[in-house]
């Protein structure tokens, strides 16, 4: 298919590589390190990769992650410029989760002198995990509809705040360790058996904004919040992704309630939270992503 631009993203979209590559989207892979050994954020290419990752955690080994540096982005973008003769839109993981996007922007700027007739546009998605995946999937829809480079960039910038990220976790020790939630929040939650309900705010940062006792209430609150945040109410039939970190039963229970609440939904994509995000959430996190009202003032 002839298109007006090449679309690119990072592995932290947390959708299977088979799906992303099937949509003709290029991917730059994050990595994590354990005991000095570097591993790719696998995206389901190796069926043993997630078991190995959670095995490290069970043995008390904490995976270390780092941002993608300017040189890696620059090499990656240049490889795409040599592969494709048009402009490139790279949708990056949100700056609220990682400062890597700043390195991507710098790398794109560095290539302007060498490729003056080409555009490499980096979009700060303000998203993460499956929400990031939804935005990239929507970008692929725009591309396939024949939107121009400028039209797609404008739409993505104007609509990226409409991708909602609702999630909860039964174990906050990894959120605490990575600084994603405060130590006080994590300690109180553990002592009282409370599941904090979290989302990404308008700048893409994690906010624990409510708390309930037990997973069933956490699931109900998460789905009720989705009902409040979508413009169509129970008639919502847009994109919906459910990601989990090694807690498939909780994920399936959440999907069941989502389908009951939104009977017009054609599909809820089920996917694993990838190794980079899971390095900071640990096991036990369920995350629901959808398109709704703009994330304004969600602090």
CA distance 292 to 138: 13
Least confident of 56-65, 188-197, 249-258: 188-197
Q: How many domains does the chain have?
A: 2
| In a shared domain, residues 170 and 38 | no
Quickly list H helices, 179-229. 183-192, 215-229
Q: Which of 143, 160, 177 is the last residue of a domain?
A: 160
Same domain as 124, residue 48: yes
Any domain includes 123: yes
Does some domain include residue 296?
A: no
* Domain match, 47 and 108 both: yes
- On the question of pLDDT at 185 being above 90, the answer is no
Q: Contact at 8 Å (CB) between 99 and 67?
A: yes
198 and 153 within one domain: no
> Quick one: pLDDT at residue 121?
98
- Reported as a single tens digit per residue, the pLDDT across 191-226 is 556 788 999 999 999 998 888 988 999 999 999 999
Radius of gyration of the chain measured on its C-alpha atoms:
19
The verdict on residue 256 lying in a domain is: yes
Q: Residue 259's Cα: distance from chain center in Å? A: 22
261, 277: one domain: yes
Beta bridge partners of 256: none
**Is the Cα dihedral 109, 129, 245, 27 positive or negative?**
negative
The dihedrals phi and psi of 279, each to the nearest 5 degrees, come to: -65, -25
Average pLDDT value for the chain? 93
Where does a domain end: 160, 184, 199?
160
| Residue 190 covered by a domain | yes
Cα–Cα dist 249/263, whole Å: 21
54 found inside a domain: yes
Residue ranges making up the domain that contains 145 = 5-160
Does residue 297 form part of some domain?
no
Q: Is the confidence at residue 227, as pLDDT, over 80?
A: yes
Region 229-253 average pLDDT: 97
Shared-domain flag, residues 58 and 95: yes
User: Which of 140, 160, 180 is the endpoint of a domain?
Assistant: 160
Q: What is the DSSP pairing of strand 194-200 with strand 163-169?
A: antiparallel
| 299 inside domain | no
DSSP letter, residue 99:
T
Q: What is the CATH number of the domain that holds 64?
A: 3.40.50.10170
CATH number of 282's domain? 3.30.1180.10
């Amino acid at each position: 298919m002839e298109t007006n631009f090449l679309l690119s993203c990072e592995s932290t979209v947390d959708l299977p590589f088979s799906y992303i590559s099937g949509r003709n989207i290029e991917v730059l892979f994050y990595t994590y390190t354990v005991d000095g050994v570097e591993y790719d954020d696998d995206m389901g290419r190796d069926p043993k990769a997630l078991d190995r990752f959670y095995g490290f955690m069970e043995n008390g080994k904490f995976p270390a992650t780092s941002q993608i540096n300017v040189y890696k982005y620059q090499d990656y973008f240049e490889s795409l410029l040599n592969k494709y003769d048009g402009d490139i839109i790279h949708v990056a993981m949100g700056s609220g989760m990682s400062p890597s996007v700043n390195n991507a922007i710098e790398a794109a700027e560095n290539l302007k002198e060498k490729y003056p007739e080409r555009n490499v546009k980096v979009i700060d998605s303000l998203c993460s995990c499956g929400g990031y995946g939804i935005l990239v999937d929507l970008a692929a829809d725009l591309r396939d509809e024949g939107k121009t480079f400028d039209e797609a960039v404008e739409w993505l910038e104007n609509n990226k705040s409409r991708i909602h990220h609702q999630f909860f976790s039964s174990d906050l020790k990894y959120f605490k360790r990575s600084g994603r939630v405060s130590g006080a929040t994590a300690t109180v939650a553990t002592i009282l058996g409370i599941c904090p309900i979290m989302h990404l705010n308008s700048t893409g940062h994690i906010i624990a904004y409510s708390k309930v006792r037990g997973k069933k209430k956490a699931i109900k609150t998460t789905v009720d919040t989705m009902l409040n945040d979508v413009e169509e109410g129970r008639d919502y039939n847009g994109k919906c992704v459910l990601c989990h970190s090694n807690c498939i039963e909780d994920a399936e229970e959440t999907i069941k309630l989502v389908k009951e609440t939104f009977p017009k939904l054609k599909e809820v994509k089920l996917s694993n939270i990838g190794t980079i995000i899971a390095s900071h959430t640990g096991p036990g996190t369920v995350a629901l992503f959808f398109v709704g009202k703009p994330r304004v003032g969600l602090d």
